Amino acid sequence: MAAQLIDEDPERAHSHALAASRRAGRIAVVRETLAITAYGIGDFALALRELRTYRRISGKDDMIALIVDSERGVGRPDRALEEGRGVDRAALTPDVRVALAIAMSGARLDRGETELALGELEIPELDPDRAFEWSPALFSARAAVLEDLGRTDEAAFWHERAEVAASALGLDGQFDEIIVEDSLSEDHELEDDDFDGDELDDDGELDDAELDDAELDDDADPEDDLDELEDESEAEAADAESSETPAAPTDAQEDEETEA
C-alpha cells in the first residue's frame, strides 16, 4: 500500500509504512519502505535511522545514495561525504553507483566545492552516446554543475544529451526539473544542539537501547503474525468442511424409509 501511495499521497504512504513497521519491524523491506516514506515527507532524521537499521538487517549498501542525501538533509554534508566514501563503489550496481555520484556531487555543492562536485560525476556511466535508465538524471546533474561553473556551452551539450536519452527511453519531460541542489532544504538544517548524541552516537548509529525505546515496535515478530494467519485459515477450512458434509439421518427418518 505504501508503495502505491508514495507519489500520490506521501503522508498517507508514511502512515501505512509506520503501521507495517509496528507489526514487522525486523523485516528489512519494511524498514526500507519506512525510510523511503520518511525521506519523501522530509523527515531526514527518521530516514537516516531507518536506513541504517535496514543496512544492518540486510547487510546491503543499495540505499547508500539515500543515506548520503539524508545526511545532507539534516545539514551535515561532511558526514554525507564520509558515508559515500565508506562503500566499495565497484560492488554497487550501476544505478546505485550513479545515484551515489549525484548525491555526493550535491554534498560537494553544499560545501561550496563546485569543481569537486563536477569531479564526483566523472564515473564510467557518464557516456553521452549511450542511454540507460540512469542517464538522463546523470547528464542533467552534470549540466547543472557546469552552469554553476559558468561553462554554459558544455552545460547546453549535457542538457541536450539528457533530453535525447530521455526521449530514447520514452521518458520525455520526466527529467526537465532534475538538478543538483545547493542544499536539500534549508528548513531541515539542524543546529548542533538539535541533533546530538541523544539521538545518534558518534558513528551516526542509534544505540540498541535507543532502538528498543523508539516509537517503532521492533519486538513485533512476523512469525507470530504468520501463526495467527495459519490458525485462521485452518478454522475457516474446518467451517467450510462441516458446512459441506451432509447431516446423518435421524432414527425417525430411517423408520420412515423402511416402512416405505
d(Cα 156, Cα 248) in Å, to the nearest integer? 86
pLDDT tens for the 260 residues of the chain, in order: 444 455 566 788 778 888 888 888 889 999 999 999 999 999 999 999 999 999 999 999 999 999 999 999 999 999 999 999 999 999 999 999 999 999 999 999 999 999 999 999 999 999 999 999 999 999 999 999 999 999 999 999 999 999 999 999 987 545 443 334 344 434 433 333 343 333 334 343 444 434 444 444 444 443 444 344 445 445 544 454 444 444 445 454 444 444 44
112 DSSP 8-state letter:
T
d(Cα 46, Cα 210) in Å, to the nearest integer? 13
d(Cα 202, Cα 213) in Å, to the nearest integer? 19
C-alpha cell at 130: 549511450
pLDDT for position 208: 42
pLDDT for position 17: 81
What is the CB neighbour count within 10 angstroms for residue 63? 23
How far from chain centre, in Å, is Cα 259?
Answer: 77
List the one residue out of 192, 98, 80 whose CA is nearest residue 138: 98
CB-based contact 155:143 (threshold 8 Å)? yes
Check: pTM over 0.75? Answer yes or no: no
CB-based contact 101:123 (threshold 8 Å)? yes
Phi/psi of residue 252, nearest 5 degrees: -65, -40
Please calculate the CA angle 42-48-51 and round it to the nearest 5 degrees: 115
CB-based contact 30:3 (threshold 8 Å)? no
Q: What is the DSSP string of 21-58?
A: HHHSTT-HHHHHHHHHHHHHTT-HHHHHHHHHHHHHHH
Pick left, alpha or beta for residue 226 (phi over 0 → left; psi -120 to 50 → alpha; otherwise beta).
alpha
Phi/psi of residue 47, nearest 5 degrees: -60, -45
C-alpha torsion angle, residues 183, 122, 84, 9 (rounded to 10) = 50
Number of H helices, E strands in the chain: 13, 0
CB-based contact 166:199 (threshold 8 Å)? no
Q: Sign of torsion, CA 188 22 51 136?
A: negative
Please calculate the CA angle 103-107-111 and round it to the nearest 5 degrees: 165
CB-based contact 68:80 (threshold 8 Å)? yes
